[in-house]
Each structure stands twice: as structure tokens, then as C-alpha cells.
């Protein structure tokens, strides 16, 4: 060795070598501790961030990291593992296995109350037919009553109750303070002698005269004995004249026969009618009738046949009947287009459907008729048709 070649190691004593080794060891330990603390701090922040999402932070409550957790985590890692983590770790937060230690709590589902299978059904409230607007009261001839359902497809009664005014001896109907009705009476041989001039002077506008009938049991057609005379004298008094026939037809052939009889009788007696020709199936008096057993549809077809024949002859047909007969014994929906002459002895009509004439009193009093008079009102002047 040359004197001027200088080697520092030859001049370092043993204490200095030991000091350097200890410093190197302390540096490795310090680095390991710093890395451990950094990792644990990161884990703690993630952990408490998750906890904070579940539990709202309250003022004064400061989250703290458990020293036991830090120690347990630190003890699980060796120096070599720490060095490897520092230099080569590619782990992400999702790769950490501590997430399963803190499962997300799901809200508890409340149990739905069980529906008792033996629960009684709610009671159904029945509507009162007297006030529900869907029914009409029918008073039968035997004194019994029945609520019948109103057909919503039929044209309803167009008359206002306030429009009816009874001015002795007549019922009148007004619209906007203007009289819209005509006064009439129904007559047959049962009324004996009638003074038509006095009727006219009393305020009667028209008469409905019985032309004839079919026998209830025999089925024989005959003319009302008073008809020819009543028709002539009524026309002479200046009254408008209409007629009616009491039918007992059990089929359309008999109905057509009745209509032809009416037309023939009018022609043979030179009676000119300017009010309706009505067909009635109402029994006059007691006893049974061959028509009693006829069902609704055949009865309806017979009435339509009669009215169609009258219509073809150029006259105005109507169907006469009580509220009970019209609703219970006819299919009114099949008779749309034909007019109704209602027989209802009441202060106001209760028939729910439209009608053009109303016989409102079966035993009225009017000058010119000795006994009880069947008083009628027409809502139309048929003589103007």
C-alpha cells in the first residue's frame, strides 16, 4: 500500500461501526412503523366513513380509532410484509377483507296484519225504492202494491208537477204561464143522455166516444149502441171527436179484425174524427176475460197490429191503459213511436214515461153529464195535425 492511498475504513473504530448499524436498524423500524400507521389510518378512515353513512354524526361525538385495533393490525404484519406492501402492493379498497366484518343493515320489514278468513262481509245497504228514482209504485186493483223498476231507455214523463193546476171542474197544464192543455171527457152508452152543447159551454174541448168492443167470453165484436148518436151530436156542438175500442184480441189476426171494424163503423156512420183512435184492453166491470191468459208479448203484438192499421188509414192511434196495465202487461220498449192515453185517477200523474193524454178523474162532475164523468186532459191539439 502506498502512503498516500487513504482507506477510510481503516480509520473507523469499532464504536462507530456499531453506531452505524444501530442507526440503520432504527431507520428500518421507523419506516415500518410509519407505513403501518399510514395503512391503519387509511383503514380507520374508510371504516368510520362507512359507519357515518349508517349513523348520523352528532355534534360533540368525535369518532376515534381503537388503539386495540391498531395494535392487533400492527402485530399481524412483519417487517418484510410491510416492505413488500410499500414497494409492490396493488390492492384496492375492494380487495380488503374487513368489509364483511361490518355488513350493511337492512331495514326491518313490518309484518302485515293477517286478514281473518272468517270475517263477516260488510252489510249491504239497500236503496229505498221510494226515493232512489229508479222505481215507481204500482197500485194493483186488488189493493196490493208493487215497486216496479223504471226502464232507463224509455222517454220519461216531460211534465212538471208545478205546471198542473186544478180549476174546477178541469185539470189544466201550464208552461210559462200559458195553458198548454185541452179539456175532454170519455163517454159511452153508460152515461145515458149527454147534452153536448152544455158540455161545450162548460169548457169541454173534445170527447172520446166508445165505438165498440169485443166480448170478453164470446169474442164477438159489437158497436156501442150510443155511438152513432153521440158522434153526430158532439160534432154538431162543435166538439172535437175521438173514439176508442175495447179490445179482447188474443192474437194479431183478431187485432187486425178489430181495427177494420172501427174503420168500417166510422165510414158507415159518416163520422169524421179529428182526435185519436184509441185501443183499450181494460175490462169494464168484473168477471174473467179471454184476454186474461194472454202473455205480454202477444198482447203487445196485438196492440201494435191494431194501431198500425189505424195509422195506415191516415188516423192517429193511441194506446189506452192504467199504469198497472201499461207497465206490467205491455212491452213498452217495442211500442216506441206510438202514443199513450193514461188512465190514472190521481191528483198528479205518477206514470214515469211519456204520454199525450191523461184521464185523471173517473167520477168527475161537469155540466151536461148527469152522472159521474170521466175527465180527461190532452197535452196536444190533435185536430191541428
Q: Which of 78, 84, 73, 83 is nearest to 37 (CA)?
A: 73
- Structure confidence at residue 127 (pLDDT): 84
Distance between CA atoms of residues 271 and 199, nearest Å: 19
Going by pLDDT thresholds of 50, 70 and 90, the confidence category of residue 98 is very low
Domain boundaries, the chain: 8-101, 164-384
**246, three cell numbers:** 175495447
pLDDT at 358 over 90: yes
User: Domain 164-384 in CATH: superfamily?
Assistant: Glycosidases (3.20.20.80)
C-alpha distances in Å from residue 341, one per residue of 11, 53, 272: 148, 86, 20
Kindly report the pTM of this predicted structure.
0.69
**Torsion (CA) 77, 79, 82, 87 in degrees, nearest 10:** -160
Going by pLDDT thresholds of 50, 70 and 90, the confidence category of residue 129 is very high
Rounded mean pLDDT, 312-334: 97
284/330: higher pLDDT: 330
The predicted-structure confidence for 155-166, as pLDDT tens digits, reads as follows 999 999 999 999
- Percent of the chain that is helix, strand, coil (3-state, to 5): 35, 20, 45
Mean pLDDT of the chain: 82
Q: Which of 214, 284, 200 is nearest to 249 (CA)?
A: 214
**259, three cell numbers:** 181495427
- Structure confidence at residue 97 (pLDDT): 47
- The answer to which of 11-25, 134-148, 270-284 has the lowest mean pLDDT is 11-25
- Grid cell 384496492 is found at 92
Determine whether 259 is exposed, middle or buried from the number of CB atoms within 10 Å of its CB (0-12, 13-18, 19+).
buried
C-alpha distances in Å from residue 314, one per residue of 165, 310, 350: 34, 7, 31
The predicted-structure confidence for 361-375, as pLDDT tens digits, reads as follows 999 999 999 999 999
Rounded mean pLDDT, 88-103: 48
Distance between CA atoms of residues 19 and 93, nearest Å: 41
Amino acid at each position: 500500500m502506498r502512503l498516500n492511498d487513504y482507506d477510510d475504513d481503516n480509520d473507523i473504530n469499532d464504536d462507530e461501526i456499531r453506531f452505524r448499524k444501530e442507526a440503520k436498524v432504527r431507520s428500518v423500524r421507523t419506516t415500518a412503523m410509519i407505513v403501518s400507521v399510514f395503512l391503519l389510518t387509511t383503514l380507520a378512515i374508510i371504516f368510520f366513513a362507512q359507519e357515518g353513512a349508517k349513523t348520523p354524526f352528532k355534534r360533540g361525538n368525535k369518532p376515534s380509532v381503537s388503539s386495540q385495533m391498531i395494535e392487533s393490525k400492527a402485530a399481524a404484519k412483519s417487517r418484510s410484509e410491510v416492505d413488500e406492501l410499500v414497494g409492490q402492493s396493488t390492492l384496492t379498497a375492494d380487495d380488503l377483507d374487513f368489509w364483511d366484518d361490518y355488513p350493511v343493515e337492512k331495514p326491518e320489514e313490518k309484518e302485515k296484519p293477517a286478514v281473518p278468513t272468517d270475517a263477516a262481509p260488510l252489510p249491504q245497504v239497500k236503496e229505498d225504492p221510494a226515493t232512489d228514482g229508479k222505481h215507481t209504485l204500482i197500485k194493483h186493483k186488488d189493493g196490493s202494491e208493487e215497486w216496479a223498476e223504471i226502464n232507463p231507455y224509455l222517454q220519461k214523463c216531460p211534465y212538471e208537477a208545478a205546471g198542473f193546476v186544478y180549476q174546477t171542474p178541469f185539470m189544466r197544464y201550464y208552461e210559462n204561464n200559458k195553458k198548454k192543455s185541452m179539456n175532454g171527457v170519455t163517454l159511452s152508452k153508460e152515461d145515458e143522455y149527454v147534452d153536448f152543447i152544455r158540455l161545450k159551454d162548460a169548457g169541454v174541448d173534445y170527447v172520446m166516444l166508445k165505438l165498440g168492443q169485443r166480448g170478453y167470453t164470446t169474442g164477438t165484436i159489437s158497436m156501442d149502441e150510443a155511438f152513432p148518436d153521440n158522434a153526430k151530436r158532439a160534432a154538431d156542438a162543435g166538439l172535437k171527436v175521438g173514439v176508442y175500442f175495447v179490445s179482447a184480441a188474443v192474437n194479431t189476426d183478431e187485432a187486425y179484425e178489430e181495427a177494420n171494424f172501427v174503420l168500417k163503423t166510422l165510414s158507415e156512420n159518416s163520422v169524421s174524427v179529428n182526435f185519436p183512435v184509441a185501443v183499450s184492453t181494460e175490462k169494464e166491470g168484473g168477471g174473467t176475460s179471454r184476454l186474461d191468459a194472454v202473455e205480454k208479448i202477444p198482447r203487445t203484438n196485438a196492440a201494435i197490429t191494431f194501431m198500425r192499421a189505424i195509422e195506415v188509414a191516415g188516423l192517429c192511434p193511441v194506446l189506452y191503459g192504467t199504469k198497472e196495465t201499461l207497465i206490467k202487461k205491455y212491452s213498452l220498449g217495442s211500442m216506441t213511436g206510438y202514443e199513450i192515453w193514461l188512465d190514472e185517477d190521481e191528483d198528479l200523474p205518477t206514470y214515469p214515461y211519456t204520454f199525450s193524454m191523461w184521464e185523471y178523474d173517473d167520477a168527475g162532475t161537469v155540466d151536461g153529464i148527469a152522472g159521474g164523468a170521466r175527465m180527461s186532459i190532452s197535452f196536444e191539439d190533435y185536430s191541428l195535425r
